[in-house]
Amino acid sequence: GESVGLHLPTLSVQEGDNSIINCAYSNSASDYFIWYKQESGKGPQFIIDIRSNMDKRQGQRVTVLLNKTVKHLSLQIAATQPGDSAVYFCADGAQSGGSNYKLTFGKGTLLTVNP
């Protein structure tokens, strides 16, 4: 993830609409990308991940798109529900010794779903 300043980007959508949350990363060596959802006062929850050998991956109501050329990642949420309201973080990773990835997190986007 990249530094985008102290103010959290926000996205407000109507219930039932599709949401698209964007993220840019800066490390050309990153080959693993992951999205988390964090509700207020809780720890982040894993949503979906993707490796650099893929451009798109789909889960249940979510799709992640990866554009390595411009170092951009997006999370699409279909038929957004009030329960989807949270802060969404992207993270990118490059191997750092052994087989584990060290993740770099973006600052997050606050998604608000209006009923």
Q: Which residues bind other proteins (CB under 8 A)?
A: 1, 6-8, 32, 34, 36, 41-46, 49, 89, 91, 93, 97-103, 105-108
Q: Which residue has the tokens 């102290």?
A: 6
Contact 56, 66 (CB under 8 A): yes
CB of 51 to other proteins, least distance (A): 9
Quote the CA–CA distance of 7 and 107 in Å, as a whole number: 9
- Measured in degrees and rounded to the nearest 5, phi and psi for residue 84 equal -85, -10
CB of 49 to other proteins, least distance (A): 6
Q: How many angstroms separate the first and last alpha carbons of the chain?
A: 30
CB of 105 to other proteins, least distance (A): 4
